[in-house]
Amino acid sequence: MRTMATWTTSATLALRADATTRVADIDARAKPGFHGRKSDGKQLLGERGEVLAALQEKLYAGGRSGDHRSILLVLQGMDTAGKGGMVRHVIGMVDPQGVSHTAFGVPTDEEKRHPFLWRIEKALPAAGQIGVFDRSHYEDVLVVRVHDLVPQEVWEQRYDEINEFEKRVVESGTTIVKVAMFVSLDEQKARLAERLEREDKYWKYNPADVTERSYWPKYQEAYQAVLDRTDTELAPWYVVPCDRKWFAHLAVTELLIDALEKFDLSWPPPDFDVEVEKKRLAQA
């Protein structure tokens, strides 16, 4: 049975950041554009996952046959926003052969010796791939700005550098889907508390995450600057409320489907004579 849940406004429209987006006002429990409950949402995710997987297979097949296009999903969010779960539940629905996943942590000594985009450029998806960035070049204007890890003159320039870099990436055939994931402070506390209650979650707990909570106003300011200065027509930001994990998963599934549909993909034609091959096979 198909679900009654629906998008009353498409995810791309409902979640798109614009000049009026105020990070401080984001309701992380909201489900913009979507009408339906958790159980509906979960069922719909399964259905839409099949659509996503079919499109991704076409993208991958094209990539193997000379189509240079690819997708880059940028997941940027505070600790506990659910980046890992997004990868498991959404990217987990497609063929892993067509996925390249990179998590960006504190830069290594080698990475520190290069410009901040060096490690990013190296991780861009190849033709036919969906690249996933768990954190990204945006850390260089988020954690770096909040903690003064480089002088302001340096991070100030990075917004323009990022825009120029992303323009180049898009023009080379990669659609960038930038997802800013927002979790409320209350929900973050609950998720951190759960990590302290369960043996299977201790590995996710990092005492530094508690310290970061006190920097929330500074992070809000830094996220606001990201949305104000790096939301472009070529590489737009989508704001995804993440207190309801099922909604966040459904939303990003839709954003990926939309990006793939815009490619207007077709199956690669055979580079052999099908009839001849059928005969050869029958006789083999």
130 vs 192 by CB, closer to ligand ADP: 192
Taking the CB of residue 132, how many other CB atoms lie within 10 A of it? 24
Quote the CA–CA distance of 68 and 128 in Å, as a whole number: 7
- Find out whether 152 and 158 touch, Cβ atoms under 8 Å: no
Among 2, 19, 96, 106, binds ligand ADP (CB under 6 A): 106
Q: In angstroms, what is the minimal distance from the CB of 128 to ligand ADP?
A: 27
Copy the structure tokens of residue 283: 């006789």
Options 104-112, 151-159, 240-248, 249-257: segment touching ligand ADP (CB under 6 A)? 104-112
Q: In angstroms, what is the minimal distance from the CB of 104 to ligand ADP?
A: 5
Backbone angles phi, psi at 110, to 5 degrees: -65, -45
Interface of this chain with ligand ADP, residues 206 to 245, rule: CB under 6 A: 206
Q: In angstroms, what is the minimal distance from the CB of 102 to ligand ADP?
A: 11
Quote the CA–CA distance of 131 and 123 in Å, as a whole number: 8
Options 61-69, 100-108, 227-235, 267-275: segment touching ligand ADP (CB under 6 A)? 100-108
Classified as helix, coil or strand, 49 is helix
Q: In angstroms, what is the minimal distance from the CB of 119 to ligand ADP?
A: 8
Taking the CB of residue 145, how many other CB atoms lie within 10 A of it? 22
Backbone angles phi, psi at 139, to 5 degrees: -60, -30
Quote the CA–CA distance of 157 and 230 in Å, as a whole number: 12
Q: Where are the alpha helices (DSSP H) in 23-179?
A: 38-64, 83-89, 109-112, 118-122, 143-146, 152-171
Q: In angstroms, what is the minimal distance from the CB of 37 to ligand ADP?
A: 30
Interface of this chain with ligand ADP, residues 132 to 191, rule: CB under 6 A: 135, 139-140, 143-144, 149
Taking the CB of residue 39, how many other CB atoms lie within 10 A of it? 11
Q: Where are the alpha helices (DSSP H) in the chain?
A: 11-15, 38-64, 83-89, 109-112, 118-122, 143-146, 152-171, 185-197, 207-213, 216-230, 245-262, 274-283
51 vs 149 by CB, closer to ligand ADP: 149
Q: In angstroms, what is the minimal distance from the CB of 29 to ligand ADP?
A: 22
Q: In angstroms, what is the minimal distance from the CB of 259 to ligand ADP?
A: 24
7 vs 155 by CB, closer to ligand ADP: 155
223 CB contacts (<8 Å, ≥6 apart)? 23, 142, 180
127 vs 143 by CB, closer to ligand ADP: 143
Among 36, 56, 79, 165, binds ligand ADP (CB under 6 A): 79
100 vs 102 by CB, closer to ligand ADP: 102
118 vs 267 by CB, closer to ligand ADP: 118
Angle at CA of residue 59, ends 58 and 64, nearest 5°: 95
Among 85, 107, 236, 268, binds ligand ADP (CB under 6 A): 107
Q: Does 67 bind ligand ADP (CB under 6 A)?
A: no
Among 60, 104, 133, 237, binds ligand ADP (CB under 6 A): 104
Residues of this chain that interact with ligand ADP (CB under 6 A) are: 79, 104-107, 135, 139-140, 143-144, 149, 206
